[in-house]
């Protein structure tokens, strides 16, 4: 058998494990079935051949004895009755032929001679023509010539229904092999799917721990791993929240002491640095809390009123926030989490583009798309995913000088996942960034 690597090279070996196991199992069962059929066929062939020769010897001995004892005038009437499908009797010398016989015909001739015994010596000749055909010439006791015209037939003709039985058996093998592979591979596919969509913070169903012991053990181990990861993430978030919260008190004290100091350039710089640290700490607390965005209960909101209220709040403070397209209808979501997502995106657009534009669309499949657009410098295509990571800041326009902490988009993405939405960023034609939230 060729090695799997060679088979992969010539594209004959299936790529999936299910197909490979199916081919191996089906081939093994088919070969075993063929071997069993061959053994049975051979045994039946040998048995049928033995029965045929025994019957031939008995019938011929009896028939010759009958013809030998009948009066010569009555023998013609008995010829048809004594004949069989593979041989018949002819009174006379018969047809001249070739004394050289094939191996199978020679065996039949020897059986005929054995059945007749030394009393009736025979001469056997092969008759030319289509198929196997030979004649055995002998003389009865009164000297009358008798010819045995033999046309040997197959030992065991194949029944008409046999091919249908073989097709049915092969179909059953294919079906059983497919079912076996499906039962064997399905737990592995479920495990791979669960690993691919692993999110300890989501409410995705746990793997079923039922079935064969090996499958149940693997599912139990996977669920335990998922619980450990969720515990580690929870612990990490709690540590971040605790550190960020505990830092606020000493930072506040340092700001108060700095403000009470004498006016100087160093004092102003110190107050500015402390303000920046304070903003970073607050963003850290917010990021930690955003991991628990699912604690807020979902409620039904009027989408148009919600977006307009958010835009009016910015406009009241003199910010350039407009609504260019507004979809209507109700939406079931967590409103505080959604407001925080949109606030982070709008603040981002105002910070780097000077203005923000909001679009709301509702698709035919009831998916709501909320876009926050700006005309800022945009983000390099290679870093559109990286900016979603915590504490990631671009080195050029989006740096600390603008007041960014690198947590705004990370918080927005984490909250979006918590409310079952998706957040994507793309650069706009003509410059600027488009942040799109898709909710169902």
Residues of the chain with pLDDT > 70: what percent?
88
What mean pLDDT is reported for the chain? 79
State phi, psi for 60 to the nearest 5 degrees: -65, -45
Give the integer Cα–Cα distance in Å for 435 and 174. 52
pTM: 0.48
In residues, how long is the chain?
A: 440
Written as six digits, the tokens of 99 are 């004394």
Residue pLDDT, tens place only, 41-96 = 788 777 777 777 777 778 888 888 888 888 888 888 888 888 877 788 888 887 87
Max mean pLDDT range (141-145, 177-181, 243-247, 319-323): 319-323
Residues of the chain with pLDDT > 90: what percent?
8
Whether the predicted pLDDT of 281 surpasses 70: yes
The answer to which of 82-86, 252-256, 270-274, 284-288 has the lowest mean pLDDT is 284-288
- pLDDT value of residue 396: 46
- pLDDT value of residue 6: 47
Whether the predicted pLDDT of 356 surpasses 90: yes
Give the integer Cα–Cα distance in Å for 410 and 372. 16
Greatest Cα pair distance, the chain, in angstroms, is: 156
Give the integer Cα–Cα distance in Å for 140 and 79. 14
Mean pLDDT of 233-253: 76
- pLDDT value of residue 358: 92
Written as six digits, the tokens of 85 are 């499908």
Whether the predicted pLDDT of 105 surpasses 70: yes
Which has more confidence, 236 or 377? 377
Strands 422-427 and 134-139: unpaired
Mean pLDDT of 192-213: 75
HSE of 357 in the Cβ direction (CA atoms, 13 Å)?
12
Model confidence band, residue 23 (pLDDT cutoffs 50, 70, 90):
confident
Q: Closest by alpha carbon to 107, among 131, 119, 124?
A: 124
- pLDDT value of residue 259: 81
With a CB cutoff of 8 Å and minimum separation 6, the contacts of 50 are none
- pLDDT value of residue 64: 83
Whether the predicted pLDDT of 146 surpasses 60: yes
Q: Which residues of 263-302 are buried (b: 16+ CB within 10 A; e: fewer)?
A: eeeeeeebeeebeebbebbbbbbbbbbbbebbebeeeebe
Which has more confidence, 357 or 180? 357
Question: What Cα–Cα distance (Å) separates residue 297 from each residue in 237, 294, 334, 335, 439?
Answer: 21, 7, 6, 9, 16
Which has more confidence, 428 or 264? 428
The answer to which of 117-126, 195-204, 316-325, 384-393 has the lowest mean pLDDT is 195-204
Instruction: Indicate the domain borders of the chain.
Output: 14-191, 197-291, 296-439
- pLDDT value of residue 5: 46
Domains 197-291 and 296-439 share a fold: no
Residue with tokens 């650069």: 427
Q: Which CATH number fits domain 296-439: 3.30.390.10, 3.30.300.130, 3.30.1600.10, 3.30.565.10?
A: 3.30.565.10
- pLDDT value of residue 87: 80
Question: What Cα–Cα distance (Å) separates residue 374 from each residue in 269, 355, 402?
Answer: 32, 6, 16
- pLDDT value of residue 406: 67
- pLDDT value of residue 436: 93
Whether the predicted pLDDT of 98 surpasses 70: yes
Question: Cβ(14)–Cβ(20) under 8 Å?
Answer: yes
Domain made up of 197-291: CATH architecture: Orthogonal Bundle (1.10)
Residue pLDDT, tens place only, 305-354 = 898 999 999 999 889 999 988 777 788 888 888 888 899 899 889 988 88
With a CB cutoff of 8 Å and minimum separation 6, the contacts of 178 are 22
Give the integer Cα–Cα distance in Å for 134 and 118. 20
Residue pLDDT, tens place only, 205-235 = 788 888 778 778 888 888 888 888 878 777 7
Question: What Cα–Cα distance (Å) separates residue 151 from each residue in 34, 50, 63, 102?
Answer: 32, 18, 17, 13
- pLDDT value of residue 403: 47
- pLDDT value of residue 269: 83
The answer to which of 154-158, 386-390, 429-433 has the lowest mean pLDDT is 154-158
- pLDDT value of residue 371: 92
């Amino acid at each position: 058998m060729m090695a799997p690597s060679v088979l992969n090279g010539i594209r004959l070996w299936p790529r999936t494990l299910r197909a490979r196991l199916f081919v191996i199992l089906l081939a093994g069962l088919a070969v075993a079935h063929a071997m069993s059929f061959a053994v049975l066929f051979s045994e039946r062939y040998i048995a049928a051949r033995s029965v045929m020769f025994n019957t031939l010897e008995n019938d011929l001995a009896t028939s010759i004895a009958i013809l030998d004892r009948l009066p010569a005038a009555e023998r013609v009437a008995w010829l048809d009755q004594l004949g069989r499908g593979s041989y018949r009797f002819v009174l006379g010398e018969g047809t001249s032929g070739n004394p050289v016989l094939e191996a199978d015909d020679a065996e039949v001739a020897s059986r005929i001679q054995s059945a007749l015994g030394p009393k009736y010596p025979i001469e056997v000749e092969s008759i030319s023509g289509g198929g196997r055909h030979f004649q055995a010439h002998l003389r009865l006791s009164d000297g009358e010539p008798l010819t045995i015209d033999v046309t040997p037939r197959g030992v065991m003709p194949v029944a008409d229904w046999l091919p249908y039985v073989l097709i049915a058996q092969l179909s059953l093998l294919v079906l059983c092999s497919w079912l076996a592979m499906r039962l064997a591979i399905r737990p592995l596919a479920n495990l791979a799917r669960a690993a691919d969509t692993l999110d300890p913070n989501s409410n995705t169903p746990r793997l079923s721990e039922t079935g064969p012991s090996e499958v149940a053990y693997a599912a139990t181990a996977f669920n335990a791993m998922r619980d450990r990861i969720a515990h580690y993430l929870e612990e990490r978030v709690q540590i971040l929240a605790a550190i960020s919260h505990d830092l606020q008190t000493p930072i506040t004290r340092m700001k108060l002491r700095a403000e009470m100091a004498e006016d100087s350039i160093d004092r102003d710089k110190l107050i500015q640095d402390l303000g920046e640290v304070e903003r970073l700490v607050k963003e850290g607390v917010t990021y930690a809390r955003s991991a628990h965005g699912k604690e807020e209960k979902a409620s039904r909101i009027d989408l148009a009123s919600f977006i307009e209220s958010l835009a009016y709040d910015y406009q009241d403070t003199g910010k350039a926030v407009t609504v260019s397209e507004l979809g209507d209808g109700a939406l079931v979501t967590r409103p505080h989490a959604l407001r925080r997502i949109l606030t982070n995106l709008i603040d981002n657009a105002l910070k780097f583009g000077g203005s923000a534009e909001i679009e709301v669309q509702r698709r035919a499949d009831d998916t709501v798309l909320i876009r926050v657009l700006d005309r800022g410098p945009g983000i390099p295509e290679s870093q559109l995913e990286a900016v979603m990571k915590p504490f990631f800041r671009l080195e050029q326009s989006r740096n600390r000088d603008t007041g960014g902490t690198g947590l705004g988009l990370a918080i927005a993405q984490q909250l979006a996942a918590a409310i079952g939405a998706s957040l994507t960023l793309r650069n706009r034609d003509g410059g600027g960034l488009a942040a799109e939230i898709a909710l169902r």
